[in-house]
Amino acid sequence: MIDVSEKGSALIVGVGPGLGVAVARAFAEAGHPVALIGRTGGTLKELAGQLQAEGHVARDYQADAADAEQLGSVLDLAVAELGAPEALVYNAAYGRPDTPTAVSPEGWADSLAVNVIGATVAAGHVIPAFRGGRGTVLFTGGGFALAPSPDYTTLSVGKAALRAYAHALHEEQREAGVHVTTVTIRGFISPGDERFDSAAIAKVYLELHRRPRDQWQAEYVYP
């Protein structure tokens, strides 16, 4: 285990070349050791290597958010290697075009496994491990939670369910010193877009983590 006497680790689930690594970089630049967790091992190693080359403490961990046992084991390993966390970011999502009357039971199961169940597994493993019993849980939500799309039905339902879970978890955990927030992103992430560039959004995640307790909220709507 590395020396984490200054700041606790940040565990990022659902890391790819977009928002996931941008959030990891934001926390790394703030001095947190970061765990990059995702499905694609080669991509994760490359992204972790980039952060390491910049002088940050970063490690890659391969796990499928739909596999509850695997995800839980990897989160436990990251905590053991990087030290007690201060932050968990659940950025994993499963989304593809589908309509309300054309989704199979298997399609629903696949979507909910990542969009909802994986989030509950991550929170359940990480919250008890928070440094000093206090920390931040940030879920990546979406505008479909507020305005469901008939063209992305399972993703809309998944984001709505994740939003409800985040609100409930916020109420349960706030008195214990854990700040739970869903970041409801009302738009599609687009490189170079002033508002929807990954780096711009990632700054919001770090700012939410740093908020004093009297400014905690269950949901942050972006922009």
- Would you say residue 121 lies in a domain? yes
> What local confidence, expressed as pLDDT, does residue 154 receive?
98
Average predicted confidence (pLDDT) for the chain: 96
Give whole-number Cα distances, 12 to 60, 80, 99, 148, in Å: 10, 15, 30, 26
Percent of the chain with pLDDT over 70: 98
List, for residues 160-212, the tens digit of each pLDDT value: 999 999 999 999 999 999 999 999 999 999 988 889 999 999 999 999 999 99
Total domain count, the chain: 1
CATH of the domain at 181: 3.40.50.720
- Would you say residue 4 lies in a domain? no
Q: Are 53 and 97 in contact (CB under 8 A)?
A: no
Q: Are 136 and 178 in contact (CB under 8 A)?
A: yes
> What local confidence, expressed as pLDDT, does residue 181 receive?
98
User: Quick count: other Cβ atoms within 10 Å of Cβ 97?
Assistant: 11
- Would you say residue 2 lies in a domain? no
Q: Which domain holds residue 18?
A: 9-222
- Would you say residue 148 lies in a domain? yes
Residue 55, amino acid: G
pLDDT of residue 1 exceeding 80: no
- Would you say residue 192 lies in a domain? yes
User: Quick count: other Cβ atoms within 10 Å of Cβ 104?
Assistant: 9
pLDDT of residue 26 exceeding 50: yes
Return d(Cα 202, Cα 47) in angstroms, integer. Answer: 16
- Would you say residue 190 lies in a domain? yes
- Would you say residue 131 lies in a domain? yes
Dihedral angle of Cα 168, 171, 177, 181, to the nearest 10 degrees: 50
Q: Are 182 and 221 in contact (CB under 8 A)?
A: no
Q: Mutual orientation of helices 198-210 and 19-29 as an angle, nearest 10°? A: 50
DSSP 77-117: HHHHHH-SEEEEEE-------B-TTS--HHHHHHHHIIIII
pLDDT of residue 2 exceeding 50: no
